[in-house]
């Protein structure tokens, strides 16, 4: 299976997601959040820096749960990023 290359908007949205998740993590260690979410530390680090621009839904849902984030609020935050990037 050949994957379609990501657009610059998708890569930017992935970086925005990473920033939101990193901010929500606050002083908690990445290792503890990854363990609570049931994902590897490496995966969390890649998501936080935007290297995984389009993580699986269930991965994002597990991270949101571990960080106490509401998925609707998270989607709203990312929509604001989309609106800002389209306006610029």
For the chain, the domains span: 9-87
Domain 9-87 has CATH 1.10.260.40: yes
pTM to 2 decimals?
Answer: 0.85
Each residue's pLDDT tens digit, 35-49: 999 999 999 999 999
pLDDT at 84 over 70: no
Q: What is the structure's pLDDT at 82?
A: 67
More confident residue, 37 or 2: 37
Q: What is the structure's pLDDT at 88?
A: 55
For the residues 12-38, what does the mean pLDDT come to?
Answer: 95
Helix (H, G, I), strand (E, B) or coil at 61: helix
**CA-to-CA distance for 83 and 88, rounded, in angstroms?**
9
CA dihedral 65, 70, 75, 81 (to 10 degrees): -100
In angstroms, the Cα distances linking 50 to 1, 4, 76 are: 23, 17, 18
């Amino acid at each position: 299976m050949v994957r379609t290359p990501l657009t610059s908007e998708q890569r930017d949205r992935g970086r925005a997601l990473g920033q939101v998740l990193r901010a929500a993590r606050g002083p908690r260690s990445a290792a503890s959040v990854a363990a609570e979410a049931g994902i590897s530390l490496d995966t969390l680090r890649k998501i936080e820096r935007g290297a995984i621009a389009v993580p699986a839904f269930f991965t994002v849902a597990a991270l949101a749960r571990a960080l106490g984030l509401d998925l609707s609020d998270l989607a709203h935050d990312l929509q604001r990023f989309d609106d800002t990037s389209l306006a610029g």
